[in-house]
């Protein structure tokens, strides 16, 4: 593994690839079109350069472009006559963390004779040693990437064993680190060799055609049947056959799974951006989550996904939640609600911090990993570390087919449907729902909360979709507010109690897609420093949902008013006096305080969306970000 203290140096050298997307196709369709369409649907994984390699007219032909995928599409449009006979190909989109993305460093990479081409997602950690050995044997490197070592290494093995699958199997035994690889060779027509270790890769099973891809969206238009490769397995894909071998070269039985996605899930359905569509899907996401779990407030919540028996649940003395980004904010709400209802102490920690210190989880701790993608490397590592210490692992994820899900002792899929926009919205709401369900389930088993309160919360959860629909039907005021404040260079979000996480998440959404510097603070902390920044240019958005801290935050807002800040309120209160204190009041339907984070985040998602949209930003694919981050 790249050690944490080495990461910065690695990044400086441009060697770390946070996320990339891979597609492979063998069959009769227009190969370039299948590959670029597939890459298009993986753009959320990263998009600073792209490339394809095809076998056409008996030759390996490689095409690469810098920047957006459209540049590659434009290039391929000029090469139609060169590539029209192709019936096999591999493609890649790359997102590097540092250094100028270049054609030279874009994939596919080839061996020196140019016959073999490889696309790769992951990091080859021992690439320096391998490169030195290969150079000593006469290989000439064209790029600075770790991936090129794979091309030379496999080519060398192929020259020895004259069997491409065997060459890949032997070469990968020498690789350290993480990889998903697709490889073609001009002497092995109509064939892709695919393999993986600690990086996602699935095989799409078609009729007279087969696919390989980093993720479902790249293949769902063509097939709903897929095989998930295990670590170190090597697959031979031909148009009419798939064979899979384990690391010891034994052929293994294929487990074909039916993919739960519909192609329609990948369309914008008339919305200008995926993010806006996904925000509007939230009422259905809540309904979907509750179906089968909660039908009426008088029945106990059903959460069969939790596999700890009642006695163990009753005896739990600690919960540790690990997550990153938006998922971390969902965990903060989870902590609040579990501590409130279940009397179990809950620690929440950013996975990237958790994994590099001595943590004290054991078999009496429930460890919860939260992740939309289920592939976030830091969270995956944190979960694996806790599992090794004997803790029960509960995973809350939108991807029950992910690496993290495979580590779970208890798996709670949030079923938000595929989330394309890099900025998480509906998956956040779905994660919150999972925490509410878990807290209610624990409270009912432990009998730790007042029965009436539990019933009220359940009732409120059941009513929530309609209330959010009501909010989503009238967004003019949010849009106006967005236009009004879009020129601000900085933004402050303040809240208290259960909505502190909402302030953090609202600020994160704004930062991510509009690039405005936004910070969330616990409102009581304002006067301990941040208040020094306030003046007539700085918008302070106070999240004031009714409940026990409402009056407190009102006073904190008054402190901001006294420093001439630009005042915005987000509230479910109908108090007319608020119009005197605030320049803008964004109203939401009234909800129970404990449920309020789900209601309060929606206008903040919309505010961030409309500001970014008004500023003409790339809403669904903000700069420098990738949808999931699969290396530490
Ligand atoms: C959310 O808008 C962000 N793109 C990001 O913070 C994300 O939540 C984080 O990278 C964690 O991803 P995960 O939920 O897939 O683990």
Q: What is the per-residue pLDDT for 264?
A: 65
Residue 424 Cβ < 6 Å to ligand 1:
yes
**Does 338 have pLDDT greater than 90?**
yes
pLDDT tens sequence across 265-317: 677 878 999 999 999 999 999 999 998 899 999 999 999 999 998 888 888 88
416 CA distance to ligand 1 centroid (A)?
Answer: 14
Mutate to test the pocket of ligand 1, among 18, 419, 421, 424 (most ligand atoms within 8 A of CB): 424
Please list, in sequence order, all residues whose beta carbon lies within 8 angstroms of the beta carbon of residue 163, skipping any fewer than 6 positions away: none
Bigger pLDDT: 519 vs 5: 519
DSSP 251: B
Sign of CA dihedral 349, 350, 354, 357: negative
Atom index in ligand 1 nearest the CA of residue 424 equals: 2
DSSP 108: P
Residue 306 Cβ < 6 Å to ligand 1:
no
Say if CB 330 and CB 323 are below 8 A apart: yes
Residue 549, both tokens: 């801290």
First to last CA, the chain: 9
Q: What is the per-residue pLDDT for 46?
A: 64
pLDDT tens sequence across 545-563: 999 999 999 999 999 998 9
Q: At what angle do helices 500-514 and 325-342 cross, to 10 degrees?
A: 170
Q: What is the per-residue pLDDT for 630?
A: 64
The residue among 107, 101, 105, 99 whose CA lies nearest residue 143 is: 105
DSSP 301: P
Q: What is the per-residue pLDDT for 631?
A: 58
Beta bridge partners of 318: 365
Catalytic annotation, pick one of 20, 139, 324, 481: 20
Q: What is the per-residue pLDDT for 629?
A: 67
Rounded Cα–Cα distance for residues 379 and 392 (Å)? 15
β pairing state of 225-228 and 202-205: antiparallel
Peptide bond into 538 cis (omega under 30): no
Rounded Cα–Cα distance for residues 47 and 68 (Å)? 6
Q: At what angle do helices 31-41 and 69-77 cross, to 10 degrees?
A: 170
Residue 629 Cβ < 6 Å to ligand 1:
yes
Of the pLDDT bands very low, low, confident and very high (cuts 50, 70, 90), residue 8 is very low
pLDDT tens sequence across 339-390: 999 999 999 999 999 988 888 877 788 999 999 999 998 999 999 999 998 8
422 CA distance to ligand 1 centroid (A)?
Answer: 8
Residue 581, both tokens: 């204190």
Mutate to test the pocket of ligand 1, among 331, 350, 376, 426 (most ligand atoms within 8 A of CB): 376
As separate numbers, helices (DSSP H) first and strands (DSSP E) second, the chain gives 21, 24
Active site residue 84: no
Rounded Cα–Cα distance for residues 358 and 582 (Å)? 46
β pairing state of 202-205 and 210-213: antiparallel
Q: What share of the chain is helix, strand, coil (3-state, %, to 5)?
A: 40, 25, 35
Atom index in ligand 1 nearest the CA of residue 627 equals: 4
Indicate the average pLDDT of the chain. 91
Mean pLDDT of 253-263: 83
427 CA distance to ligand 1 centroid (A)?
Answer: 10
Residue 36 Cβ < 6 Å to ligand 1:
no
């Amino acid at each position: 593994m790249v050690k944490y203290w080495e990461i910065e140096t690695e990044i400086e050298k441009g060697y770390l690839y946070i996320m990339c997307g891979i597609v492979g196709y063998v069959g009769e369709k227009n190969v370039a079109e299948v590959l670029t369409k597939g890459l298009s649907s993986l753009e959320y994984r990263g998009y600073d350069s792209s490339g394809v390699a095809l076998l056409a007219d008996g030759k390996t032909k490689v095409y690469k472009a810098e920047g957006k995928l459209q540049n590659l599409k434009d290039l391929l449009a000029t090469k139609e006559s060169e590539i029209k006979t192709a019936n096999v190909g591999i493609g890649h989109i790359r997102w590097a963390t540092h250094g100028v993305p270049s054609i030279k460093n874009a994939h596919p990479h080839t061996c020196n004779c140019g016959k073999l081409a490889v696309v790769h997602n992951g990091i080859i950690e021992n690439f320096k040693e391998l490169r030195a050995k290969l150079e000593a044997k006469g290989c000439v490197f064209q790029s600075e990437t770790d991936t090129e070592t794979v091309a030379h290494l496999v080519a060398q093995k192929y020259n020895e064993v004259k069997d491409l699958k065997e060459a890949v199997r032997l070469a990968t035994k020498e690789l350290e680190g993480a990889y998903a690889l697709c490889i073609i060779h001009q002497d092995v027509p109509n064939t892709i060799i695919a393999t993986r270790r600690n990086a996602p890769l699935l095989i799409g099973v078609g009729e007279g055609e087969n696919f390989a891809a980093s993720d479902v969206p790249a293949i769902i238009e063509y097939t709903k049947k897929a095989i998930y490769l295990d670590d170190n397995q090597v697959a031979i894909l031909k148009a009419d056959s798939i064979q899979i071998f384990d690391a010891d070269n034994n052929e293994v039985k294929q487990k074909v799974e039916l993919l739960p996605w519909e192609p329609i899930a990948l369309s914008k359905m008339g919305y200008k951006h995926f993010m806006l569509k996904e925000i509007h899907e939230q009422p259905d996401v809540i309904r979907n989550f509750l179906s089968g779990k909660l039908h009426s407030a008088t029945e106990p919540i059903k959460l069969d996904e939790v596999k700890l028996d009642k006695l163990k649940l009753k005896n739990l003395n600690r919960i540790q939640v690990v997550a990153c980004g938006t998922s971390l904010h969902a965990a903060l709400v989870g902590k609040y609600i579990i501590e409130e209802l279940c009397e179990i102490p809950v620690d929440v920690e950013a996975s990237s911090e958790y994994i590099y210190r001595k943590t004290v989880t054991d078999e009496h701790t429930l460890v919860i990993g939260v992740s939309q993608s289920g592939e976030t490397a830091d969270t995956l590592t944190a979960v694996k570390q806790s599992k090794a210490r004997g803790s029960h692992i509960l995973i809350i994820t939108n991807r029950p087919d992910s690496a993290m899900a495979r580590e779970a002792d208890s798996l709670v899929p949030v079923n938000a449907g595929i989330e394309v926009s890099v900025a998480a919205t509906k998956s956040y709401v779905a994660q919150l729902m999972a925490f509410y369900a878990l807290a209610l389930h624990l409270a009912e088993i432990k009998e730790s909360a007042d029965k009436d309160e539990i019933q009220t919360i359940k009732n409120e959860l059941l009513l929530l979709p309609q209330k959010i629909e009501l909010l989503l039907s009238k967004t003019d005021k949010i849009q106006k507010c967005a236009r009004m404040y879009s020129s601000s260079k900085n933004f402050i979000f303040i809240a208290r109690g259960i909505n502190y996480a909402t302030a953090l998440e609202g600020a994160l959404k704004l930062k991510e897609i509009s690039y405005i510097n936004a910070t969330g603070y616990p409102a009581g902390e304002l006067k301990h420093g941040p208040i020094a920044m306030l003046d007539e240019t700085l918008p302070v958005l106070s999240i004031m949902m009714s409940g026990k801290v409402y009056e407190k935050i009102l006073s904190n807002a008054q402190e901001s008013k006294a420093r001439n800040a630009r005042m915005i309120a987000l509230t479910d209160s109908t108090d007319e006096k608020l119009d005197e204190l605030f320049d803008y009041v964004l109203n939401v339907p009234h909800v129970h305080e404990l449920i309020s984070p789900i209601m309060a985040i929606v206008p903040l998602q919309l505010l961030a969306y409309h500001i970014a949209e008004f500023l003409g930003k790339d809403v669904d694919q903000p700069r420098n970000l990738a949808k999931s981050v699969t290396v530490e």
